[in-house]
Amino acid sequence: MSSEDSNPAATPTPGVDTQGDGRWMSLHNHFVSNSKDKEPDVLFVGDSLVQLLYQFEVWQDLFSPLHALNFGVGGDATQHVLWRLSNGELGHISPKVVVLWVGTNNHGHTAEQICGGIMAIVQLIKDKLPKAYTLVLGVLPRGKMPNPLRERNAQVNKLVQEAVSSLPHASLLNVDPGFVHSDGSISHQDLYDYLHLTPQGYQAVCQPLHAHLKGLLEKQAEN
Amino acid sequence: MQNIGAVQHPCARKYSGYIDKNYPSSEAFRMSGDEMNPAAVAQAVEDIQGDDRWMSQHTRFVQECKDAEPEVLFIGDSMVQLMQQYEIWRELFSPLHALNFGIGGDTTCNVLWRLQNGELDNIGPKVTVVWVGTNNHEHSAEQVAGGILAIAQLLTSRLPKTKVVVLGLLARGEWPNPLREKNVAVNSFLRSWLPRLGHTQFLDVGAGFVHSDETISTRDMFDFLHLTAAGYRAISKPLIDLLLQILEGTPEEKRASLV
């Protein structure tokens, strides 16, 4: 019996259409058909932090030139990303690097469970794309002032860092440039609702990410 | 104290059941025997996730009321909130001295609560733009329209000098679905109710989003709900035209001021 059975964060689960307009499945289907005629070198997959990145100029400036695809879905937790990647979104592409950014929406799950969910995704990518490198981005702090979710997210990052440290095909990159100020507060100039990034926030996150990605792609090219 | 200045359409009375704790006798809004419209009941968002973000945003908006003198106030849900993150806000709306009090996920109930609890204090905008209703999943189209009407009534009574612009709800979902029909119905109620309220008008900014094959494109709504930069550009044209018209006054007012 695999441990995934007892970890809801690591059990592939499709999004449920609670609202009545089928948007989650529409997006998934779009990503599957998108993958049929594109040849991305980089695939970004995750939640709204990935999805929103595509809407701002920073994507055009930094990531389009790297031939990147964006499979972000707002609200997704690890189990949703796991389902999407298991059901066609990796079907027709072989990116050199997969950037995975997910975990902040895993409400009700412990840090250990969320780490388990992230690692299940890392394993799935390894199974489906044996040559790809997975770059896991650290989950950002959230909320205006210190709160339990910040602690949970920090713990997730710590656990994932430990879990990937022995893997040659994955690593964790901390992309928090220092959003938490000395008084413990986060500014709405960086996270406009204390969760989602402003264009300014994305700039601060993406410059080092872009540099790191370029390095990875160059290394992959050498292999 | 009666709600001075607001004209009440009989249907609005039934559906707008809004209670403002500052104006106790607005119980008059609720006709005896009628049930309260749940979409017109002020309600704060509960912190279920654990980081209290809704209240943090509300508190910030209340503070902004103390510091700013906006000519235009935008209030609503993520459709309002996200607008501020795109270039178009800086280009078109910042120059009008606009404040953005949008919070993602908000229903009419949440907006009502925020407006009653400080987000209208110390400000006197010439125009208030209201865009909310697409998240009212528990309510019928009539109830949602009643909730929006209650917001418009609150604004015209608390800010006697403001003109209220209510934006129509956009279509959503990639394909035809019940929420599209519901939003169309909400708009239909608003079109007939709002003109009877003084100083309030309805603006439909949804033209062109649903293509001839009945789909919505991710080029306009990246998740079939939220607008892309291109989507916001499309809605901003009619909106900015109307705002400028209101802010610059009617030709008659202009002539009068020249005398």
Nearest CA in chain A to B136: A19
- Give the per-residue pLDDT at A223: 66
- Give the per-residue pLDDT at A5: 60
Q: What is the mean pLDDT of residues A113-121?
A: 98
- 0.95 surpassed by pTM: no
Residues of B whose CB is below 8 A from A22: 173-175, 177
Summarize pLDDT for B82-109 with one digit per residue, the tens. 999 999 999 999 999 999 999 999 999 9
B51 touches A at CB < 8 Å: yes
What is the overall mean pLDDT for chain B?
88
Contact A19 B137 (CB under 8 A): yes
Contact B177 A149 (CB under 8 A): no
Distance CA B4, CA B7 (A): 9
Distance CA A83, CA B155 (A): 46
Is B13 in contact with B35 (CB distance < 8 Å)?
no
- Give the per-residue pLDDT at B256: 54
Summarize pLDDT for B181-235 with one digit per residue, the tens. 999 999 999 999 999 998 999 999 999 999 999 999 999 999 999 999 999 999 9
Distance CA A221, CA B4 (A): 72
Q: Is the pLDDT of residue A99 over 80?
A: yes
Better pLDDT: B33 or B195: B195
Summarize pLDDT for A174-212 with one digit per residue, the tens. 999 999 999 999 999 999 999 999 999 999 999 999 999
Q: Is the pLDDT of residue B28 over 60?
A: no
Q: What is the mean pLDDT of residues B122-141?
A: 97
Contact A21 B179 (CB under 8 A): yes
B84 touches A at CB < 8 Å: yes
- Give the per-residue pLDDT at A37: 87
Contact B51 A73 (CB under 8 A): no
- Give the per-residue pLDDT at B8: 43
- Give the per-residue pLDDT at A220: 79
Q: Is the pLDDT of residue B21 over 50?
A: no
B103 touches A at CB < 8 Å: yes
- Give the per-residue pLDDT at A218: 92
Of B39, B96, B33, B31, nearest to B69 by C-alpha is B96
Whether B78 is catalytic: yes
List of residues 6+ apart from A120 with CB closer than 8 A: A4, A7, A9, A10, A78, A82
Q: Is the pLDDT of residue A163 over 50?
A: yes
